[in-house]
Amino acid sequence: MGVMRLGYVHTRVTDLTESLHHYHNTLGMQVMAEEPGKAYLKAWDEYDHHSVVLEEGGVGLVKLGYKVERAEDIDQIEIRAQRFGTITERMSKGDNLAVSDGLRIVLPSEHVIELYHDVEQTGTATGTLNPEAWPRDLVGVGVPRVDHALITAEDPETLERFFTEVLDFRASERVVTEQGDDGQLIGSWMFCGNSPHDIAFIKGPNAKLHHFAYSLTDWNEILRAGDLFAMDDVSVDIGPTRHGITRGTTIYFFDPSGNRNEVFAGGYTTFRDFPTITWTADQLAKGIFYIGRELNERFTSVLT
């Protein structure tokens, strides 16, 4: 079946100690391993060894890791990617802690993604035998898992074609300048699983990160996360509010380095045969922030 899910977000931070305070004490991720200038963290309901890598030195995205179902999927994707004209490189087991060999691809948007077929699984905090509903020793927000990332691309059309033709993703929702054949693509929300997006991108500079997100269960948890951001003096971009696109509820906030994070809850379930939903640019603000129907200046200009 190919790509299954977003497995890890590897991001740069300016100060590792300060960042660990945010990702552990406020968000509640557990530190799984540390190297000089690097930390590997996981959320409580994730099976894999880690889902976030923090690397000291700068801001923004180093790379995104997506897990494929079978080793053979890598071979097929490599052929398709090369046919598409993208730069690929084989990676070895051990290039990434706890991650198998795989394929590294420089996307048409200059972001790096890695595809791998195996990763060490250390298990969730509640286990797989008669599990409790949640762990009692959660810290802060206690995020259960990483959900998606949104990146920017100078040419969203080509990037969407890449994810469709090479990686078999589908677009759940798209934003176009206008309805009909003359409409140019402004953004696309694409999935490989059953959530509205495993990756999304909007028009903007190449190689930049807009945000990566954690899924929470519901609106009450979003509000509670907001309370914790107030308690911990986290810089909030916008929210709590709802997206028109994906229908998810949300808060955007910044880590201490200025990388935008999101807590996201309540997006719908989707399937590969569902028609793609279209938004026109005149309704973009409502698509992004359904209730306020206004895009703040930061939302479109602050990227890392």
Return residues touching Fe ion (CB under 5 A).
213, 262
Residue 243 among the catalytic residues: yes
Q: Find the shortest distance in angstroms from Cβ 149 to Fe ion.
A: 8
Residue 114 among the catalytic residues: no
Q: Find the shortest distance in angstroms from Cβ 211 to Fe ion.
A: 6
Residue keyed to tokens 């972001």: 111
Q: Which is catalytic among the residues 173, 214, 262, 290?
A: 262
Q: Please provide the DSSP assignment of 38-66 as one string.
A: EEEEE-TT--BS-SEEEEESSSEEEEEEE
**H helical segments located in the chain:** 16-20, 71-84, 156-165, 219-231, 284-288, 297-301
- In 3D space, the residue among 167, 164, 188 whose CA is nearest the CA of residue 176 turns out to be 188
- In 3D space, the residue among 205, 182, 236, 186 whose CA is nearest the CA of residue 26 turns out to be 236
Crossing angle (nearest 10°) for helices 156-165 and 71-84: 140
- Cα separation, 251 vs 228, in Å, equals 12
Looking at beta carbons only, is 104 or 260 nearer to Fe ion? 260
| Cβ-proximal residue to Fe ion, closest one | 213
Looking at beta carbons only, is 167 or 213 nearer to Fe ion? 213
Q: Which is catalytic among the residues 46, 148, 214, 290?
A: 148
Q: Find the shortest distance in angstroms from Cβ 98 to Fe ion.
A: 26
Residue 252 among the catalytic residues: yes
Q: Find the shortest distance in angstroms from Cβ 172 to Fe ion.
A: 12
Residue 262 among the catalytic residues: yes
Q: Which is catalytic among the residues 22, 49, 111, 197?
A: 197
Catalytic residue positions, numbered: 148, 197, 211, 243, 252, 262
